Every structure is written in structure tokens, then in C-alpha cells.
Amino acid sequence: MMAINRYRLRHAAQSGVRGAVRAQALLNQTDKLLGVILLGNNLVNSAAATLSAVLAIRLFGDGEMVLLVATVLLTFLILVFSEVTPKVMGASLPERIAYPASFLLGPLLRLAYPAVWFVNLFVQGILRLLRIKPPEPGQGVSLGLEELRIIVLESSGRLPREHHRILMNLMDLQDLTVDDVMTPRSQIEMIDIEDDPERLQQQIATSHHTRLVVVEGSADHLLGVLHIRRVLHTLAGETLDPEELRENLESPYFVPAGTALFTQLHNFQKSRRRLALVVDEYGELQGLVTLEDLLEEMVGEFTTQAPADMGYLRQDADGSWLVEGSVALRQLNRKLGLALPLDGPKTLNGLLLEQFEDIPEAGVSLKLGDVPVEIVQTQDRAVKTARIHIPAPASAVAGETST
């Protein structure tokens, strides 16, 4: 009864299993349940001790050695057949034993209620003296986030792989911020309203995004966000009017850097927005985060990415990977099965610059932990592309060495 999984028991009771309903009702009054179980247990043990002493005296006399042998033998029999073996069986098969036992324990509790009530008077008094407050009847065990994480991890063999991955991603949302998933400022596709109308029309017509950030003159002067469907009629051959473009802009929605993903998901729901611009403490634009970015953290990447967004990772014939420096470390770890640190820089370029403590030149190689990385191209004071050589598993290396 005590070893049964309370959550599995609650599910079985809600499904209408009669034994589970009775077992749950008994466990909701643990003090009385323990009272009737221990009452019967001690009553039987005391009776067995008295009976064994009487039988030993009648059969072999009242010598001290006879009583000693009878006591040792009875202790052995009680331990093996009445204590250890049944309790191990109960802990190993709690549902199979608890459900049938509940049909017997229920009537026993009603029958022995006066004795149980009398015993509990003294028990409650002692607990009050010790300032111990027992849990309220029916009060469930509350679990924190870390306990839930452990339960999900231990259930990986019983859950479908995709379900397990989504559950783990949901729990990680609390530890992630918009900085971990945002598109950095240098990769945001923007249009400048001061550009030539034909160029603007071409940019809008060839864009792979449904929303575009609109600036005036430079990225420091943000005008708003353009939903392309609002200007679709201008792409059918008419000349794009910049003033009409201004009239169809949505006001920019700014969020501070460091906002937790779970909080931002709630903010998107509340404001009915799908795109936010991330700014630092000085109001400088740092990046862009969308609702799709947050959903991908929960359920995985979608297949509706633009071709330009999928070119950051390519495997060559020799097994190495050619990677853009702007790729997020979380994506690298997920795609290549690496364990690069995530508590510092968010991109491969940032991690390389932190490790190298300078702007590395093309051809320079270094190790990030046990991962060899070769700098292929640098541009604008940053690592443009790098080559990652995935280290062979330890088992494979050991096999080659033995061979």
C-alpha cells in the first residue's frame, strides 16, 4: 500500500478500477490505515510469541534452553515468512497486491475503528508534543520542476521518442531566454524605405518571410514591421509607393534581452504578436525573435525554413562539417550531438573568439573541449565559416587500437 505509485493509482481510480478506488480511499486516511495494519500485525506477532512459548513448554518442558530455541526459531519464521518476504513482494508488485488487499482492509478498518481511534489519540498527542504536523487527508505529493525532469528522464524507455523530446524541451524553456533563439541583428532581413521603389518591390517579391523589418536610412532607425500580404497588390506590376508602404506598417514590438522564453510565449499570446525585436539595456537592436522560434524549441524545427536559413551546416565527403560562424551553439549541439558550453557566448563565432582571445586568421585550428575546429574564413572582424571535425566515439577508437 505504501510502495504504490500515487500517480498511477490516481489514474487507475479515475479510470474506474474498483481496487484502485478503494486503495486510494484508504491511502487518503494514512493514519487510520497504518493503525489497522499495525494493529493486526502486532496482534498476530504477540499471539504467535505467546502460542510458541506455550507449545514449547508443553512439548519440551519449561527449561531456559527450550524457551531460547523457541524464541530464535519463531523470530526466524516471522522475519522470513511474515516480514521480509511479504514486504519485498509488496514493494515489487504493489498494484497486484494492494488492489485485492484493499477489499479486506476496508472492512477490517470499519471493524477495528474503535481500537484504531483510541490508539491514534495517543499518536496525535505525541506528534503535537514533537511539533510534527502530518499531511492533510488526500493531500498529494507536490513535485518541483527538477523532480518532474527526473521522472521524464527515467520514463524515456516507456514514452515515444518524440513525446519524450518535447517534454524535455518544455522543461528547458524556463532556463532559456530570447537571446538563445533570436536571429542576430546581422542576419535580419530588412528593407530600407529610402531605397529605389523597384528595388523595394524586388526585395518584397523575392523574400522568403511573411514579415519584414522596415528601416529608414539605417538599422538604427526602425519604422516598423511590414506584413507582405498587405502590399501583395503592388507586386502585380504596379510601382510600389513608399508612402503606401508606410501606411501598412505595424508598430515595432520591442522586448528586452534576457527575457525568459516561457515569459515571452505568454507575452506573444497576450499581445497577439508573432514577431518581436530584442533590444539591450541601451535600446540597441540585438536581434529578432518570432513565435515560430519559440515553437521550434518545443516541438523541433519546421520544414518551412527559407533556403538561406538552412545553409549554415553542410557535411563534406571526409565527414567534417562546414559551419557558419553565426550558427547558434544550441543548434550545433542538437544537430551534431556535441556538448559545447552554453553558459557564455550563444554562437560559434562568439565561442571561438572567447577561446582564441583574438580575431583568428583563416587556417588556424584549435580545440573546443575535445572537438577540433579549423577556421576557414573570417570577415568583418568575425569568423565567417569554420570546419568542425567530429571526434570518433571512444568505443570506436578502442576497437581500432585493439585491431
The 10s digit of each residue's pLDDT in 339-374 is 888 888 888 888 888 888 888 888 888 888 888 899
Q: What CATH number does the domain containing 220 carry?
A: 3.10.580.10
Contact in structure between 179 and 329 (CB atoms under 8 Å):
no
Last residue of a domain, one of 95, 129, 163: 129
Both 170 and 184 in a single domain? no
DSSP per-residue letters across 368-398: ETTEEEEEEEE-SSSEEEEEE-PPPPHHHHH
Residue 135 lies in a domain: no
For 222-245, what is each residue's pLDDT tens digit? 888 988 888 777 666 666 777 878
Any domain includes 367: yes
Same domain, 274 and 322: no
pLDDT of residue 393: 63
25 located within any domain: yes
Alpha-carbon span 204 to 190, nearest angstrom: 10
Could you tell me if 89 and 153 lie in one domain? no
The continuous run of DSSP H or E covering 366 comes out as strand 365-368
Partners of residue 371 on adjacent β-strands: 368
- Please tell me whether residues 21 and 91 are part of one structural domain: yes
Residue 201 lies in a domain: yes
Question: Which residues, including other chains, have CB under 8 Å from residue 35's CB and lie 6 or more apart?
Answer: 116, 119, 120, 123
Q: Do the Cβ atoms of 277 and 213 come closer than 8 Å?
A: yes
Taking residues 164-180, report their average pLDDT: 81
Between the alpha carbon of residue 63 and those of residues 47, 48, 54, 73, 75, the distances in Å are: 21, 19, 12, 16, 19
Residues 299 and 317 in one domain: no
Query: In terms of C-beta density within 10 A (0-12 exposed, 13-18 middle, 19 or more buried), how is residue 312 classed?
Result: buried
Specify the CATH number for the domain of residue 372. 3.30.465.10
CA dist 158 and 114 (Å) reads: 45
Q: Same structural domain for residues 180 and 299?
A: yes
pLDDT of 191-201, one tens digit each?
A: 888 888 888 88
3-state percent helix, strand, coil for the chain, nearest multiple of 5: 55, 15, 30
Q: Which residue has the higher pLDDT, 94 or 330?
A: 94
Whether 21 and 112 share a structural domain? yes
Q: Are strands 321-324 and 313-315 parallel, antiparallel or unpaired?
A: antiparallel
* DSSP-based three-state secondary structure for 22: helix
Q: Based on the fold, state whether residues 169 and 181 are members of the same structural domain.
A: no
How many structural domains are present in the chain? 4
Chosen domain end from 102, 129, 156:
129
Beta bridge partners of 368: 371
Mean pLDDT of 20-46: 89
Per-residue model confidence as pLDDT tens digits over 286-300:
899 999 888 888 887
pTM above 0.85, yes or no: no
Same domain, 163 and 185: no
Domain that holds residue 46: 6-129
Determine the pLDDT at residue 306: 52
Provide mean pLDDT across the span 65-72: 88
Question: Domain for residue 140, yes or no?
Answer: no
What are the pLDDT digits (tens) for 100-133?
999 999 898 899 888 888 888 888 889 888 888 7
Q: Which of 303, 319, 354 is the last residue of a domain?
A: 303
Q: Same domain, yes or no, for 157 and 185? A: no
